[in-house]
Amino acid sequence: MERKKILFVAEAVTLAHVGRPLALARTLDRQRYDVHFACAPGYEPFFKGAELSHWPLNSIASARFLAALAAGKPVYDARTLRQYVLDDIRVLQAVRPDVVIGDFRLSLSVSARLAEVPYVALANAYWSPYVNQHYQVPALPLSRVLPIALADRLFRLVRPLAFALHCRPLNRVRRAYHMPSLGYDLRRIYTDADHVLYADIPEMFPAHELPITHAYLGPVTWSPPTEPPPWWDALPGGRELVYVTLGSSGQGALLPRVLQALAPLPLTVMAATAGTIDRGLLPDNAYVASYLPGEQAAQRSRLVICNGGSPTCQQALAAGVPVLGIAGNLDQYLNMDGVVRSGAGVLLRSDRLMEEQLRSTALRLLQDPEPRAAAERVAQQFLRYDAGARLAGLLAQLPG
């Protein structure tokens, strides 16, 4: 039997957009699927043992992506997306896949159609046009100078216009290729594909009138291959463990304040620093490494403190561990809205963070049995979803 050729395309602006498709690529039966993976250079160590063919594909720099998010500006301009389309087509013509699966590679909305390849988009359910969202103002220049209640009201007023501005670049590129506009709802831009798979569960992000071409995969958890640090098996006993990981930029700059807030508490803190802290200034109860095996760290912990993003939250909830999310960008706020509604976590603002508030919130999440019970309920819900099997089920239905 001839194997079906699958091309994963990752927009490598964050590690999460590489890790998620890579985790799914590893689940596919190599006797049935010939797996290819395209992303920007620099991630080759993560492909070790993955049994796939790697194709280099340019992405904008992560710093540029994060700076645009922080400023509330469109991430891409039309010129960048036009070049993306050409780069995509080069890889599509070289690989000639039966199916292309993209993670935040918005240009596939054009290039996959030009190449006449069935296109599957990976997305989070809170970016779906069929999921009701509760929008809060993220950490923007607006939120730093106005009272949050006022900034929230203004953000809700201008959000449709802001979304429209973010939609313009891709719509311009589509028009150049004689394709219809996707309109001015950013959620349609993020989910324009022949099939859309949500790396979430409907229990946390319920949909209404979901098209037959949209489906829930369930959580897709992944950790970069990282050796545990020397202190991993020598942590002091008798204290509860808290896992802290805030990323390498944005909220990552808050790590020293987070560690200082936790310093007076009878806890042991293990933190992934991503190089954002002077190790000579560590509190006595903090154990740090540049990177930690995230899934194992979450499983060992009683509380996970993170930036509120989907990858770390899913690691925590899969382990039945509550989450304290210190959110900055809109994606993190939307994800944490689902976590908070489930009862399994608390959201704090990165632009209003106070040490006493952080300390008291962490204590409450550790001492109150309800958040842990809620996290354990979510963990049981996660078990109902096998993302790899669901992906394979869709691929079996597609021609090729």
Q: What is the pLDDT of residues 203-221, one digit of tens each?
A: 999 999 999 999 999 999 9
State the DSSP code for 11. -
Q: Return residue ranges of the chain for CATH 3.40.50.2000.
A: 4-218+385-397, 240-382
List, as one string, the DSSP characters of 228-260.
PPTTTT-PPSSSEEEEEE--SSGGGGGHHHHHH
- What's the pTM value of the predicted model, to 2 decimals? 0.95
According to the model, what pLDDT value does residue 35 have? 98
Which architecture characterizes domain 240-382 according to CATH? 3-Layer(aba) Sandwich (3.40)
pLDDT at 248: 61
pLDDT on residue 326: 98
pLDDT at 113: 98
- For residue 249, the model assigns a pLDDT of 57
Phi-psi group of 302: left, alpha or beta (phi > 0 → left; psi -120 to 50 → alpha; rest → beta): alpha
Is residue 378 over pLDDT 60?
yes
Lowest-confidence pick of 115-124, 170-179, 276-285:
276-285
pLDDT of residue 253: 83
Provide CATH code, domain 4-218+385-397: 3.40.50.2000
Q: Summarize pLDDT for 335-354 with one digit per residue, the tens.
A: 999 999 999 999 999 999 99
pLDDT band at 274 (very low <50, low <70, confident <90, very high): confident
Please report how many Cα atoms fall inside a 13 Å half-sphere around the Cα of residue 191, on the Cβ side.
Answer: 23
DSSP H helices, 119-232, are 141-145, 148-176, 186-190
